[in-house]
Amino acid sequence: MELLVAATFCCLGLSTILVFGLVFLVILRTNRPYSAQEMDQVESRASGFASQAAAGLLPWTSLGDLSCQWHGTVSGLIIGEYRGIIKSLSNPNAPGLLACYLSLKGRQGFLHLRTSAHEARLDIKADVAQVTVGGRLLGSIRLDEGIIFDSGGQPIGRYHRHRGWRWRIGSTPLSSRYGPVELYGRMVAEVNDGLARSGPWSGDAARRPLVRNLAPNLAPDEEGWLLAIAGLEFYHWANRHRNRPRHTF
């Protein structure tokens, strides 16, 4: 009997050590930077998803036609993978307007955005997102403060994203909040921080614009920055979904 009890405790101890060891290995691998091979695989999957999704996207109309609702899939453990399409306000039953592919590993991320008229990528490291639109580097965004820099490192604007906690059902906020985006000395739009995944708890997300109060005669760079900032809301949704500390600028 004593031998059986000892064997049981021994098995429990070994099982506990094994579980903690596996958890430690997952955390260790998650916090490592992408290897060159991992990044090649991520970029290949992003390109494949974007090409496939682009065939079904609505013709591009305006940033103001993006809704606060997206649909798609979530997968991955060490490297989180999020594939989604942000829906259209004017045609909510259609596939959507903006395809988003996001890979997250630790404090790093890779976000690929595609519309019928645009292609962009955001390389995220710690609290900085480097923004490339149409193959041209626009600059970067400090995720902790929302400060926007041009490709030469000079500040050119800011996204005043709301800070603080608020009531949610799952990952869907119960209130709608917009933050102004300033570029080159003027307010070019307001962006909503309440992007929601389609489902029974998405509320009125399909009827809320993701981007509103667009300034007239947007320059191509301004439109590119707004597309990137709208896409970053997909990144923020993923951070909330993973229950990790999120940037709030």
Q: If pLDDT is split at 50, 70 and 90, which confidence band does 168 have?
A: low
Of the candidate ranges 2-11, 85-94, 96-105, the one whose mean pLDDT is the lowest: 2-11
State the pLDDT at residue 208: 92
**pLDDT digit string, tens, across residues 95-130:** 899 999 999 998 899 999 999 999 999 999 989 999
Q: If pLDDT is split at 50, 70 and 90, which confidence band does 22 have?
A: very low
Give 233: exposed, middle or buried? Use CB within 10 Å, 0-12, 13-18, 19+: buried
* Domain chopping of the chain, boundaries: 1-30, 36-241
For residues 181-190, average pLDDT: 97
Task: Give this prediction's pTM.
Answer: 0.82
pLDDT at 162 over 80: no
**pLDDT digit string, tens, across residues 218-247:** 999 999 999 999 999 999 988 877 654 334
Q: If pLDDT is split at 50, 70 and 90, which confidence band does 172 have?
A: low
Show Cβ contacts of residue 193 under 8 Å, excluding neighbours closer than 6 positions: 161, 162, 173, 177, 178, 179, 233, 236
Question: In sequence order, what are the beta bridge partners of 42?
Answer: none
Q: What is the DSSP letter of 241?
A: H
Mean pLDDT of the chain: 83
For residues 33-48, average pLDDT: 89
- What DSSP string runs through 17-60? HHHHHHHHHHHHHHTSPPPHHHHHHHHHHHHHHHHHHHTTSPPP
Interatomic CA distance for residues 125 and 202, integer angstroms = 30
Q: If pLDDT is split at 50, 70 and 90, which confidence band does 163 have?
A: low
Residue 180 dihedral angles phi and psi, to the nearest 5°: -70, 145
